[in-house]
């Protein structure tokens, strides 16, 4: 695989606003002439969306964490092959709502699975693909969960203690990879936050001559 494009991911605990900010960034880049693929995890393809329904269905409350992790990986493998790699090969900017960091944070740090095992499986699934830039939208756990809608999915229904571990896990990831992962406070003026995100993205696009 010859990677010619730029791969940007948005991460964060529930209610952090990553979907909103990823969409705003996509709109901005498209208006300025960039070819952009915007997708999400799990999902983005017919197969991956079907897996998403299984993962988020509140009725599947007895799902084992290993099963959960492998389903996320399966959905990821499909979208990487079907959508992400082809777009990068064409030189597009790929913006993805969640990626491998989410599995490390949710099923690893919060779910109790060995992070090294997750990363090893992840290398197979992603074919070694890593984001060029990751935005971690950080928010206090309780505030983030309060933003969730009336009808919560299976993950959102997990205990507050679980979601606190997710946030801590994300912050550990950011500390270990400060060059790639940029922490952005999710509380405050959306426009100002988006301007910070745009500035960092334009700098990397300029550096990589996209």
pLDDT for 2 beyond 60: no
156-181 residue pLDDT tens: 999 999 999 999 999 999 999 999 99
pLDDT at 188 over 90: no
Please determine, for residue 3, whether its predicted confidence score (pLDDT) is greater than 90: no
Q: Find, among 38, 114, 126, 118, the residue nearest to 81 by Cα.
A: 126
194 has a pLDDT exceeding 80: yes
Query: Any idea what DSSP says for residue 69?
Result: H
What angle (nearest 5°) sits at the alpha carbon of residue 196, between those of residues 102 and 103?
Answer: 0
This prediction has a pTM of 0.95
Would you state the pLDDT for residue 4? 87
**How many angstroms separate the most distant Cα atoms in the chain?**
48
Q: What is the CA radius of gyration of the chain?
A: 16
Phi, psi torsion values for 66, nearest 5 degrees: -70, -45
Burial-class residue 151 by CB neighbours within 10 Å (0-12, 13-18, 19+).
exposed
Give the residue carrying structure tokens 């940007």: 8
210 band by pLDDT with thresholds 50, 70 and 90? confident
- End-to-end, the C-alpha distance of the chain in Å comes to 18
Contact between 164 and 172 under an 8 Å Cβ cutoff? The reply is no
Per-residue pLDDT at 39 exceeds 70: yes
- Please give the pLDDT value at position 81: 97
Give per-residue pLDDT as tens, 77-135: 999 999 999 999 999 999 999 999 999 999 999 999 999 999 999 999 999 999 999 99
- Which pLDDT value is given to residue 1? 52
Q: SS3 for 11-67, per residue? A: ECCCCCCHHHHHHHHHHHHHHCCCCEEEEECCCCCHHHHHHHHHHHCCCCCCCCHHH
């Amino acid at each position: 695989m010859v990677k010619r494009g730029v791969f940007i991911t948005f991460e964060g605990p529930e209610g952090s606003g990553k979907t909103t900010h990823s969409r705003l960034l996509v709109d901005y880049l498209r208006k300025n002439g960039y070819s952009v693929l915007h997708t999400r995890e799990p999902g983005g393809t017919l197969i991956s969306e079907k897996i998403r329904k299984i993962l988020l269905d509140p009725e599947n409350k007895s799902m084992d964490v290993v099963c959960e992790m492998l389903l996320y990986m399966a959905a990821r493998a499909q979208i990487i092959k079907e959508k992400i790699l082809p777009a990068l090969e064409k030189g597009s900017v790929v913006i993805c709502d969640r990626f491998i960091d989410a599995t490390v944070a949710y099923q690893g740090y919060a779910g109790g699975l060995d992070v090294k095992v997750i990363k090893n499986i992840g290398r197979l699934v992603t074919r070694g693909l890593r984001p060029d830039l990751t935005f971690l939208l950080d928010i206090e756990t309780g505030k983030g969960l309060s933003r969730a809608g009336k009808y919560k999915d299976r993950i959102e229904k997990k205990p507050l203690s679980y979601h606190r571990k997710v946030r801590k896990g994300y912050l550990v990831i950011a500390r270990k990879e400060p060059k790639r992962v940029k922490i952005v406070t999710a509380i405050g003026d959306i426009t100002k936050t988006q301007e910070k995100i745009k500035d960092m993205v334009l700098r990397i696009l300029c550096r990589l001559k996209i």
